[in-house]
Amino acid sequence: MRLLIDPDPPRLRWSKDAVETGGVPLGEASSISYRLHHGGERLREPATRVTPESLAAVRSVIRYRPEHNSLTYEAACRMLRLLPDVPQFFLCDTAFFSSLPEEASVYAVPSALRSRGVRRYGGNGLHHRWAWQRTRELCGQGVSRVISIRLGDRSDVAALRDGAPVDTTLGFSPVEGLLSRTGCGDIDASVVFELRTAGLSLSEINDLLSRRSGFRALVGPRCGFKELSAPSGGADRALAREMLLYGVVKCAGGFAALLGGADVVAIAAESPSASTRFVWELCRRLGALGLGCRRRMPLKDGAVLSDRGSAVKAVFLEADLWRSMAWQAAVAEKEG
Amino acid sequence: MMKSGGIRVLVFNCGSSSLTFRVFEATSESDVRTVVSGKAHRVAVRGSEPSFLEFHVGDQAERIETPLESHQAAAGLVLEKLGSLGLRVDRIGHRWGHGGSLFRTAWVDKGLLSRLRTLVPMLPIHHPAMLRVILHCRRAWPRVPQFVTADGAFHATLPPRAYTYPLPKGILRRFGFRKYGFHGLSYQYVVRAAAAYLRIPLASSRMVACHLGTGGSSAAAVLNGESVDTSMGYTALPGLVMSTRSGDIDPMLATYLMGIYGENADGLIDLLNKKSGLLGLSRFSSDIRDIIPRLRDDPAAGLAFRMYVQRLKKYIGAYAAALGGIDALVFTDDIGLRNRLLRERVCRGMAWCGIELDAEANRRAAEDGISLLSPPGARVKVLAVPTEEELVICWEGLRLTGGGYAPADRS
């Protein structure tokens, strides 16, 4: 059986099949794949065989996402020693975006800084690569320009042309882009300088921007995407919901401009039932892109949301990390 | 006073190395004519070329080469020239860079001056010069009431979803972080002029306006004549790729770089504001006019130009989507008016939201008047509109005067 491992600090998560069979059946593993959140500039393939060399590469990129990457690294080190004969792979979330065009990956800063790893890495590549495949299955092989929206506690949007990334909302870190459960998203970087000048330490500022902002700052610590999508809630929750909706609409419009218009908007969320309201409201607001959506029905994986005759199609995908990892692992196994 | 041609308003507009001035004569907002205009060039700049004052009265133009060590020296020279002409001035208006949430247009009195002083750090390069020009005018012409108009005031209509930074509430309370936006006077003028030119009601219109200057640049989404979003923020750093400012960057990059550079905020502020943008990308020039001729031979120049275009396209697309489609796209200020190649690239592939450019009209566009650049029948009217910040300041001053009150401590 195929074993999938996702770092979810402070622990590791194992794919469902493994949990269901009671504990981790290492003896039955035919392959083991680890999610690597951030591959930096060293890991640029969606799947990389775990070897002493690739382990060294992963060790060198731990600093980009210390919490997650260190878990992935330690797990792979141990497993390779334990099961040296089982094929093992790093499935890297930033690899898909290593082919971002220069104008999307570069920040407009002096070249001396750009050579120090300062670039936009993107993220959630395992999802967007899978979403591209699913969109083509659902909408036909003629699909070329896709705006892939992933909604959740940490939402992001990617622009894809013929399966290759054109732009992404996630940047150097996953804080850039849309506001998230605890991250502030795009804000004026001058805020950081003023906080520093006022005496906050760098780690205090990092903590503030990435763990104490977003929905948490606006609504409270228990507010995630699911709560935001629910119809109830006071003014704070309404503002957070509105900011996320508005942010996604702006990203979609911006990416339509880069793609010269979109063929399909692929909207994904983990729980179809919990995101129904949000998704339909989002569709309603994307009219300027050429999307016609007058219906309201329960969401399910693969549902076409757009009206017949709509210039741009919209589909709903049930985002499932294990499914997108399994798909990528299968490709890797085939290729050896 | 009104019978002798109306109220005369002298307006000063401080740039980083220039001082623009106009004397208007007005009986109402719709009846304003320019009596005197001009600009002090290369103010407080040390270089090989001389600084000079350009001074127009009626058909007469004068160019006075003289050292202009500071903005207040330039303003002093303007007041002397006006005095020697015997020209009566009833009000003096000033552009103020960043009013925070404090005011839109206000009379200059002691209370206001102390508030302006607290706002100096919001624009550390422009504000000190603006303040000194105001103080100089108070000393030189103590009997003429002065007012200031805040440049960002047009963006006071931003809704919470656009201006809120989702940071902890305590931090927001303590620092006042939010999106303010800039170039408000320019937007206020161009959307009004565009609506008048197109004969559409401003009060039911959807526009995206792009103020593309040789220094700072921004874009704004304007719904029914009111600003609903803009690309600059708490400061003038975020948004578009500018001449020397980076525009949007990951806020976490700021802390990462401070780590690398020994936590020196000032050094990094300098790097992102003065050495980034087109200059940082091209490695040789902050001026898009220098970059364009080298697009073919120099990959760095090519990257700089492409990034400038792409960032602008993204903002136009984002605002078009947010507004649910637009009626007009307006280009203004030096780059917006003069750079045909840039407009052509920005509008390419934008038919999805109705934006198209007429190649011939784009080529022939005037630099000193309004030009329609979209083909007949296009869904979105694309316009180049020269901006008139000084005229908006005059309008604002007339509104104050109309209110019938004057500064409390006028001596």
Render pLDDT for B361-379 as a digit per residue (tens, 0 to 9).
999 999 889 999 999 999 9
Instruction: Return the beta strands (E) in B97-145 as ranges.
Output: 105-107
Residue whose C-alpha is closest to residue A184's, from A165, A168, A166, A171: A171
B7 touches B25 (CB < 8 A): yes
Which of the two residues, A192 and B270, has the higher pLDDT score?
A192
What does the alpha-carbon distance between residue B172 and residue A198 come to, in Å, rounded to a whole number?
14
Q: Which residues of B touch A186 (CB under 8 A)?
A: 238, 248, 251
Q: Chain B window 300-319: which residues touch A at a Cβ cutoff of 8 Å?
A: 300, 303-304, 306-307, 310-311, 313-319
How many Cβ atoms sit within 10 Å of the Cβ of residue B350? 22
CB nearest to B168's CB, from A111, A116, A212: A212
pLDDT of residue B3: 42
| Shortest distance, CA B355 to any CA of chain A (angstroms) | 10
In angstroms, the CA B286 to CA B241 distance is 11
**B223 SS3 class:** strand
Beta bridge partners, B36, equal B23, B57
A123 in contact with chain B, both atoms CB, cutoff 8 A: no
A127: amino acid identity, one letter = H
What's the pTM value of the predicted model, to 2 decimals? Answer: 0.93
- Digit-coded pLDDT (tens) for B312-342: 999 999 999 999 999 999 999 999 999 999 9
Give the mean pLDDT of B65-94.
Answer: 94
Token pair of B199 as six digits:
């004969």
Catalytic residue among A93, A156, A167, A263: A93
| C-alpha R_g of chain B | 21
Q: Which of B248, B249, B285, B345 to mutate to test the interface with A (most CBs of A within 10 A)?
A: B249
Contact of A285 with chain B, judged by CB distance below 8 Å, is answered with yes
- Distance (Å) from the alpha carbon of B383 to chain A's nearest alpha carbon: 19
Is the minimum CB–CB distance between B278 and chain A shorter than 8 Å?
yes
Distance CA B411, CA B407 (A): 9
* Domain extents in chain B: 7-150, 200-384
Contact indicator for B372, B383 with CB cutoff of 8 Å = yes
Question: Do the beta carbons of residue A322 and residue A16 sit within 8 Å?
Answer: yes
B411 pLDDT exceeds 60? Answer: no
Put simply, whether A253 touches B (Cβ < 8 Å) is yes
Q: Is the pLDDT of residue B138 over 90?
A: yes
Q: Among candidates B93, B117, B161, B65, which has minimal Cα distance to B395?
A: B93
**CB within 8 Å of B83: residues ≥ 6 apart:** none
Chain B residues in contact with A256 by the CB 8 A cut-off are 317, 321, 352-353
Average pLDDT, chain A: 93
Q: How many CA atoms lie within 13 A of B242 on its CB side?
A: 27
Q: How many Å apart are CA B187 and CA A20, to the nearest integer?
A: 61
Which amino acid, one-letter code, is at B17?
S
**Between A36 and A113, residue with greater pLDDT:** A36
pLDDT band at B124, cuts 50/70/90? confident
Is B104 within 8 Å of B153 (Cβ atoms)? yes
Handedness of CA B344, B345, B346, B347 (dihedral sign): positive
DSSP letter assigned to residue A291 = B
Residue-level length of chain A: 336
Active site annotation includes B151: yes
Strands B217-223 and B371-372: unpaired
**Cβ within 8 Å of residue B273, ≥6 positions away:** B237, B244, B245
Burial class for A148, CB neighbours closer than 10 Å (0-12, 13-18, 19+): buried
Task: State the pLDDT at residue B408.
Answer: 43
Closest CB to B318 among A215, A240, A254: A254
CA-to-CA dists, residue B243 to A35, A270, B250, angstroms: 40, 42, 19
Give the minimum alpha-carbon distance from B170 to chain A in angstroms, rounded to a whole number. 9
Which ranges of A21-63 would DSSP assign to H, the alpha helix?
52-60
- Give per-residue pLDDT as tens, B236-288: 999 999 999 999 999 999 999 998 877 678 888 889 998 999 999 999 999 99
User: What six digits make up the tokens of A331?
Assistant: 């490709």
Q: How confident is the model at residue B407 (pLDDT cuts 50, 70, 90)?
A: very low
Instruction: Look at residue A31 in the predicted model and tell me its pLDDT.
Output: 92
pLDDT in tens, A68-101: 999 999 999 999 999 999 999 999 999 999 999 9
Q: How far is A164 from chain B (nearest CA, A)?
A: 17
- Asked if A218's CB is within 8 angstroms of B166's CB, the reply is yes
Tell me which of A92 and B404 has the higher pLDDT. Answer: A92
Band of the pLDDT at A24, cuts 50, 70, 90? low
| A10: preceding bond cis by omega (within 30 degrees) | yes
What residues contact A231, with CB distance under 8 A and at least 6 apart? A277
Please say if the pLDDT value at position A112 is more than 90: no
pLDDT digits (tens, 9 = 90+) for B194-223: 999 999 999 999 999 999 998 889 999 999
pLDDT at residue number B409 = 42
Which CATH code fits B7-150? 3.30.420.40
Helices A125-139 and A321-335 meet at what angle, rounded to 10?
90
Q: CB of A235 within 8 Å of any CB in chain B?
A: no
Averaged over A145-151, what is the pLDDT?
98
Asked if A130 contacts A328 with a C-beta cutoff of 8 angstroms, the reply is: yes
Is the model's pLDDT at A22 over the cut of 60? no
Percent of chain A with pLDDT over 90: 84
Query: How far, in Å, CA of A145 to CA of A164, rounded?
Result: 10
Closest CA relative to residue B24, chosen from B97, B91, B78, B94: B91
- How close A178 comes to chain B (CA, Å)? 10
- Picking from A205, A62, A215, A92, the residue whose alpha carbon sits closest to that of residue B253 is A205
Ramachandran angles phi, psi of A138, nearest 5°:
-80, -35
Q: Does A176 touch chain B (CB under 8 A)?
A: yes
Task: Tell me the three state secondary structure of residue B374.
Answer: coil
- Angle between helix axes A235-259 and A272-285 (nearest 10 degrees) is 60
Helix, strand, or coil (residue B281): helix
Q: Is A115 on the interface with B (CB under 8 A)?
A: no
Residues B263/A206, Cβ–Cβ less than 8 Å: no
Same fold, B7-150 and B200-384: yes
Percent of chain A at pLDDT exceeding 70: 97
Q: Per the structure block, which two tokens stand in for A335?
A: 């290729």
Query: Is A237's pLDDT higher than 80?
Result: yes
- Work out the mean pLDDT of chain B and round it to a whole number: 92
Give the per-residue pLDDT at A99: 94
Q: Does domain B200-384 have CATH number 3.30.420.40?
A: yes
A262 touching B (Cβ < 8 Å):
yes
